[in-house]
Amino acid sequence: MSSEHEQWMKMASPGANHEILKRMEGTFDSRARFWMAQGTPPMESTGRMVNTLLLGGRVLEHRYKGTMMGSPFEGWGSLSYDNISGLYTGVWMDTMATMIQIHTGTAGADANVLDLRGEFTLPMGQIKSRHVTRVIDRDHMVFEIHQSRGGQPEALIGRIEYARQP
């Protein structure tokens, strides 16, 4: 085997940075709160997220079903770590839009917090978005969405708490 091939195989193998994906695998009930405007009470909803490891532990697939604003809501996404770029990449699509959101970023010092950033356009204009995922323990995670629009400061617009199904 050539050294180039050996290097390729090493970079294609899941490693320590993929461990957070393993901790997130499973079925989780969710409690979501979204703020439509600062200072207003949040809209609350519930749902279920099924996270499945794919491709030998390289990718975590998300399948979400629940409600949002009183209507059925469904979402699909993935989360992966790229050994070459050193970045996590999150992809998300749902029934509230037709766009594909892509966020990239890094893990925190303890590897239990992911901080991914992206930009996209909504009817109200360009959005800068930050997704923060905290793996609290084996059975609990918290996902936060922070956004900035039109040069305004970043604000928390959504928080989803996940609890593993027994």
Tell me the C-alpha to C-alpha distance, in Å, between residue 63 and each of 22, 53, 154, 157: 16, 12, 27, 21
Name the token pair of 17: 């940075």
pLDDT score for 88: 98
Is residue 107 within 8 A of residue 93, CB to CB? The reply is no
pLDDT score for 59: 98
pLDDT score for 1: 67
pLDDT along the chain (166 residues), means of 10: 84 92 97 90 96 97 93 96 96 94 92 95 88 96 94 93 95
pLDDT score for 124: 78
pLDDT score for 26: 98
Q: How many domains does the chain have?
A: 1
> What is the domain-level CATH number for residue 74?
2.40.128.20
Tell me the C-alpha to C-alpha distance, in Å, between residue 98 and each of 93, 121, 130: 7, 11, 19
Residue 103 lies in domain: 3-164
Q: List residues bridging with 1 in a β-sheet.
A: none
